[in-house]
Amino acid sequence: MPLPPKLLELAKSLVNQSSSNIDILRREADLPKTDMEYVQQFKESEELMDWEKCFEQGNKDGFFNSYSNHSSLKTAYYSTV
């Protein structure tokens, strides 16, 4: 069987570019889209759930606009589970 032809530099760069695009899409797919998805991801990333810390960080990230404090967020989360 003959050896495969060597890839041109342009082809190599296109392969690298498409794999980086896939990585970007994977990262975007992992981003939470709802308040409860944010809480779930936060819970999974922490050893012990700190609702106040979750609420503060979520507010900074643009989530939890409809909750007045971490207690109301916690109540809403457990009502959906």
Instruction: Determine, yes or no, domain membership for 71.
Output: yes
| Domain tally, the chain | 1
Instruction: Determine, yes or no, domain membership for 43.
Output: no
What whole-number distance in Å separates Cα of residue 66 and Cα of residue 68? Answer: 7
pTM of the model: 0.63
pLDDT in tens, 4-60: 767 666 666 666 665 555 555 555 556 788 999 999 999 999 999 999 999 999 999
What whole-number distance in Å separates Cα of residue 66 and Cα of residue 31? Answer: 20
Instruction: Determine, yes or no, domain membership for 81.
Output: yes
Q: Which residues contact 77 (CB under 8 A, 6 or more apart)?
A: 36, 39
Are 43 and 58 in contact by the 8 Å Cβ rule? The answer is no
Instruction: Determine, yes or no, domain membership for 69.
Output: yes
What is the pLDDT, as a whole number, of residue 26?
55
Q: Tokens 């190599």: give the residue.
A: 12
Instruction: Determine, yes or no, domain membership for 41.
Output: no
